[in-house]
Chains A and B, each alone.
Chain A
Amino acid sequence: MSHLAYIGVLAFALLGTAWLEVFLRTRVYSRWHRLSLAVAPVVVMFVMWDLYAIAQNHWTFDPERTTGIVLPGGLPIDEVLFFIVIPIASVLTLEAVRSVKRWEVGDEVPGTCVDGVRVSDGER
């Protein structure tokens, strides 16, 4: 079981945010195409950072408490999953705040109304 310690933390983050999709209607998983396009570059950038940090010995991983599946460059697959799970949880959190507060995020269609205030320019 200890090999699943890292994965367990990721499961906590995934399950701890999944309910937002249902009960706050975040519509993040349902917009999986947009979600993939947002997360993919993040995975690439942070895997590169991770590989550099591993090569420079900034950090190491306990082989007993990670899955043991290690990609080239000494990168545990647990880390790659981290760079997928945490971004998804972050988007769910942002959309959850929007769901409750209805604050402007920046992707609104110009000319529509947010809380009775007209959005004039999506880049505002």
Chain B
Amino acid sequence: MTYTQLGLIGVIVVIALDLFVFRTRLVRRRVFWVAYAIIIFFQLVTNGVLTGLRIVRYDDDAIIGSSTPTDGPPPFLGEGRIAFAPVEDLLFGFSLVLLTLVLWVWWGRRGVQRTAWSGPPVESLRTVLGYQPPPE
């Protein structure tokens, strides 16, 4: 199988685990999508370094785009790449992140170190973070 095919299968399998097997339903929660928006930004930065510097190199038989060149960086955008990385890396990253968070929430729900909850932020950061104290 190609990386493209595996990437798509990975996303489908992990979403199915979230919705139907572990029933954590993270993909239906805004907390997940806001966290993922932050994560994907930093993924593009860090993975851009790994792929732009050709620390990880891809073969065109496996991806939509072309092989990582031997004499310079791959395209920054286009030809199946985003921030130097193959678009398939976004599928791979989504599966990695969602599976981790599903298991984290699932173990918590099973009672493994379910508490104490995260937060609140330290007082000095509450204003800059826009933190609103909980209603009584």
Residues from chain A with Cβ under 8 Å of B103 in the complex: 37-39, 41-42
Residues of chain B at interface, number, CB under 8 A? 63
Query: When chains A and B are docked, how far (Å) is the Cα of A91 from the Cα of B117?
Result: 13
Residues of chain A at interface, number, CB under 8 A? 63
Residue ID in chain A nearest B101 by CB atoms: A94
B12 proximal to A (CB < 8 A): no
A118 proximal to B (CB < 8 A): no
Query: When chains A and B are docked, how far (Å) is the Cα of A16 from the Cα of B45?
Result: 12
Assess whether B62 is in contact with A42, with CB atoms less than 8 Å apart.
no
Q: Which of A9, A58, A83, A101 is within 8 Å of B50, CB to CB?
A: A9
Query: When chains A and B are docked, how far (Å) is the Cα of A106 from the Cα of B24?
Result: 6
Assess whether A42 is in contact with B99, with CB atoms less than 8 Å apart.
yes
Assess whether B109 is in contact with A24, with CB atoms less than 8 Å apart.
no
Assess whether B121 is in contact with A83, with CB atoms less than 8 Å apart.
no
Assess whether A60 is in contact with B57, with CB atoms less than 8 Å apart.
yes
Assess whether B55 is in contact with A5, with CB atoms less than 8 Å apart.
yes
Q: Which of A12, A25, A93 is within 8 Å of B35, CB to CB?
A: A93
Query: When chains A and B are docked, how far (Å) is the Cα of A37 from the Cα of B62?
Result: 32
Query: When chains A and B are docked, how far (Å) is the Cα of A41 from the Cα of B106?
Result: 13
Q: Which of B9-57 contact A (CB under 8 A)?
A: 10, 23-26, 29-32, 34-35, 38-39, 42, 46, 49-50, 53-57
Query: When chains A and B are docked, how far (Å) is the Cα of A36 from the Cα of B47?
Result: 24
Residues from chain A with Cβ under 8 Å of B63 in the complex: 58
Hey, which bits of chain B sit against chain A, CB under 8 A? 1-3, 6, 10, 23-26, 29-32, 34-35, 38-39, 42, 46, 49-50, 53-59, 61-63, 92-93, 96-97, 99-101, 103-109, 112-122, 125, 129-131, 134-136
